[in-house]
A and B are shown apart, each in its own frame.
Chain A
C-alpha cells in the first residue's frame, strides 16, 4: 500500500537570456528560478492495483517515481510504501520494490546479462532456490533464453528492455515502478512488455505504477489513471471517466492537457 500526502519538491535552476553579454553577466550574478516539480501531490494506491501515472513532459512524474523509489529526498510531505518512508529507510525499502527506468540501464554493459543477474542475486540476498525459480520463470515469460548469455551492449533495445524488466523482478518485489518502460520500443516488443506486465500483476498480485507517454500502454494496462501537471494532481479516476466518446485516446489526453493548461 502506497500513501502519498502533500509531497513537495523544488529544484533550483539557473537561467539567463541568450547572448554573450548575458553570459558574461551570469558569471557575476546568476539568476535562479525555483521550479516546483511537485507542488503538494497526494494519492493512495492499494495493494495489487495497476496505476497509470500520466502527464506532459516536466509534469513531475519521474520526480514522484524517484521519491517513491528512495532516490530523491522531497522538501516536505509524507510518503510511505508498505509502512516505510523510502528516503529514511532506504535500504529496507528498496528490498521490496523493483524499478525500471526506461531511459537508463542497470545491466553491466560489457558482460553477459546473466552476470548482471547473478550480481543482483547477491545484492538482494536472494536464496539460491528462489533465484533459480524466478530466473526460469522470467526467462520463459520474457523469452530470454537466447539473449542472457550476450553482453548487454550487443542487445537490441527491445531485448535489453526485456532483460531490464527481468532484472527488476528477480527478488520478487511487491511493488513495481515502471518509468517509461516502452519508450523507443517497436510494436512487437511493446506488446510483449505490456502483456508481461499485465500477467505479472494478475499472477503475482504485484502493485504496478507506470509512467508513460504512450496512451496505448495506459489503455492496455491501467485500470486507474492519475494525471499530473505542473506538480499538481489534476485528475484521479478510471479510463472511462476521462473518455467522452469514441474518440482516440491520444486526442482525449491532449484535450485534457489543454483543458488544465499544462
Chain B
C-alpha cells in the first residue's frame, strides 16, 4: 500500500534529515579538529586557530616527537599486555561462570546467581577494594592489579549466560551420552558454538582495557608500568610535556607542547578508530542481547 505523503510529512522528513546531518557534524567535528591540529605546524596553533578545517602549515614534527618518546612506547607496551592478557582472563573467567550457571543439575546454581547479582547493586566501594587489592593481596605495582580485580564483568557475564542457555540441550545431552564430562563439554562443544558472542566479549573487554586509566592511577606507582592512558593524562590534563620537549629552547616548548597534545590523542585513539567500523556491529549485537534480557 502506497501512502500518499502530506505536505507536513515531507517537511517533517526534511527536518529529520537536517537534524541528523547536524548530529553527524557535531559528532565528527571534534575529531576532525584534533586530526588537523595534530598535522599542523605548532607555530600556527597559537592565538586564533579558526575552525581548523585543514591543517595549518602541514607538519609531522609532533608525531615525530611522540613516536620517538620512550614513555609513550613503554605505555603502549604495557597497555598491549593488559589488553591481551586481561581480555583472555576476562573471557575465560566469564565463560566459566556463564557455563556453570547454565548447568541445570548444578545444585548451588540459584544461590550462586543470587550472590552474583547482589554484587551488581552493592559493593564494598572504592576504599575497601583498594585496601584488599593493594595492601592485602599485594598486587600494587603489578599489572595484575589491572587484570584480576575486574576479571568478570557481571553484566557481560550475564549476556554470555543468556547466549549459552540458548544452545539446544539436545546437543549437550548427546555429547554427555558419548561420555564427555563437563570440562570437555565446555571446551569442545559450548565454546566452539559460541564464537560470535565470544567475539563480542573480546571487543567489550578489550576496549575497556584499552581505555581504562583509573585503576592504574591508584595501583601503579612505578612509571615503567604506566599504561598508555596514564601517560596520556599527564600530557593532556596535567600538561606535562616536559619529557618530550627536552632539549628545545624555552620559548619553543609551549608551542611544541600544543601540537604534541593533539598528536598524542591521535596515537592513542587511532587503534580504536581503525578497528571501530569493523567491530561496531558486533558491539551493537552484544547490546541487543543484553537489552532483550533486560
Q: Do A and B come from one complex?
A: no
